[in-house]
Amino acid sequence: MHAYEVKDITLAPYGLEKIDWAYRNMPVLRAIEAELIEKQPFKGHKIAVSVHVEAKTACLARALARGGAEVALTGCNPLSTQDDVAAALAAGGMMSVYAVHGDTEEEYFGRLKKTLAFGPDIVIDDGGDLALLLHSKLKDLAKNVIGGCEETTTGVHRLEILKKEGKLAYPVVAVNDARCKHLFDNRFGTGQSVWTAIMATTNLVVAGKTVVVAGYGMCGRGVAMRAKGLGARVIVTEIDPVKACEALMEGYTVMTMDEAAPLGDCFVTVTGCKDVITEKHFLNMKDGAICCNAGHFDCEVSIKDLKRIAVSDSELRHNVVGYKLENGKTVCVIAEGRLVNLASGDGHPVEIMDMSFALQAQSAMYIATQNARLPIDVYQTPEEIDNRVAEILLATKKINIDILTDEQKKYISSWEF
């Protein structure tokens, strides 16, 4: 039996039902899992996983264990852990699980430390919190690590900074940067799951509202596109002039947050930056304006500012807190400004995480099957891994695509026409 810390182990049957549903709908990961079971590439390897403890993640963690790994799993956000899923994995006895919904910051990091305590040689991070510990308080454990995989944009960004400063302690595959990750997960996944979460949490209509999307990167494109599709008027704020032009050509109104603050009914930040919505914006907002964040940390919408300027606050609906300001208006915040789609929903749809986690499983296998430890660097996901995910997905849908003839190959690789 493996160690576990979960809220309530008797929730396991409910979690198992969720995992079974996800598994049925993850054909790409199932295909990779079949290979892992056959080849056992993780035999003798210890893998620490810090990813939202949710049904799709459970399928990834089980696939790694079935591929021979000793696995320890924890969350990557104190509010996204689903206690029934954590219970199902703990009861399944295939891995150690340290995850409880609603942890304080201290409890959350305590569980990350426990997850690393067995001395993993491969780490799978979503956002770089394991990496943070392995480069600070638990430096000694980094010596065991032959490689890591990073799931998200901000995590890759943090690793690139470590590399630039010459402090990166082990090689990492930037899974986020694979085409089958950011083109689908960040855009279509965030696009759908953010609106699913906002709609379910507020029970309000999107059509006819003015939605302000801060950040027009991969995620922002998806969030803005789906808001438009739901009938909203969409305003985009950006700091990158090219992305601002792209948003403009897509038909959105582009302006600064200062200008957008009094116009928006609903604000979604997806920048990976901090202080995108602050005191001066809150004070200018309409009564009842809704703010939420789908970017990395809970500092994009400054809850700190809001708490400081509010005369009172109260929970208006589950996961919606209303902050009453001195001017008599109320600003509503969903899920404490944490990732709205995961802290107030199931995160991305199953088929999206199927692609992302098929990349993760293969990237971990890539690390485990190298003859020698890769030199320390931040690596792109190998193209074959990326292509394989797309090929399996197309095959499950019985979709064929054209294949270049030899003549065509010659033509496109020549400069003489």
Query: SS3 string of 29-79?
Result: HHHHHHHHHHHCCCCCCEEEEECCCCHHHHHHHHHHHHCCCEEEEECCCCC
Site string for ligand NAD, 127-166 (x = CB under 6 A): -------------------------xxx------------
What is the CA angle 150-113-80, rounded to 5? 60
374 binds ligand NAD (CB under 6 A): no
The whole-angstrom separation of Cα 369 and Cα 252 is 47
Q: Which of 26, 48, 61, 76 touches ligand SAH (CB under 6 A)?
A: 76
Q: What is the secondary structure of 230-263 as a DSSP string?
A: TT-EEEEE-S-HHHHHHHHHTT-EE--HHHHTTT
Q: Which of 8, 240, 383, 384 touches ligand NAD (CB under 6 A)?
A: 240
Q: Which of 126, 300, 305, 386 touches ligand SAH (CB under 6 A)?
A: 126
CB-wise, 92 or 128, nearer to ligand NAD?
128
52 binds ligand SAH (CB under 6 A): yes
375 DSSP 8-state letter = P
Q: Which of residues 279-338 bind ligand SAH (CB under 6 A)?
A: 296-297
Whole-Å CA distances, 217 to 70, 254, 340:
36, 14, 17
Stretch that binds ligand SAH, among 47-55, 161-169, 206-214, 232-240 (CB under 6 A): 47-55
Q: Which of 148, 171, 217, 345 touches ligand NAD (CB under 6 A)?
A: 217
User: Residues near 19 by Cβ (< 8 Å), separated by ≥ 6?
Assistant: 55, 58, 59, 62, 85, 88, 89
- To 10 degrees, what angle do helices 27-39 and 383-396 make? 120
192 binds ligand NAD (CB under 6 A): no
Starting at the edge strand that comes first in sequence, how are the strands of the sheet with 290-293 ordered?
253-254, 233-237, 210-214, 266-269, 290-293, 330-334, 320-325, 310-317
Q: Which of residues 250-289 bind ligand NAD (CB under 6 A)?
A: 270-273, 276
Q: Cβ distance 324 to 312 under 8 Å?
A: yes
Q: Which of residues 327-386 bind ligand SAH (CB under 6 A)?
A: 339, 342, 346-348, 353, 356
Size of residue set near ligand NAD by CB under 6 A: 28
**Which of ligand SAH, ligand NAD, none sits in contact with 125, Cβ below 5 to 8 A by type?**
none
Determine the distance from the C-alpha atom of residue 155 to the mean position of all C-alpha atoms in its chain, rounded to a whole number.
10
Q: Which of 82, 152, 196, 362 touches ligand SAH (CB under 6 A)?
A: 152
192 binds ligand SAH (CB under 6 A): no
Closest residue (Cβ) to ligand SAH? 347
CB-wise, 235 or 359, nearer to ligand SAH?
359
Q: Which of 329, 286, 331 is nearest to 305 (CA)?
A: 331
Interface residues with ligand SAH (CB under 6 A)? 51-52, 54, 56-57, 76-77, 126-127, 129, 151-152, 185, 189, 296-297, 339, 342, 346-348, 353, 356
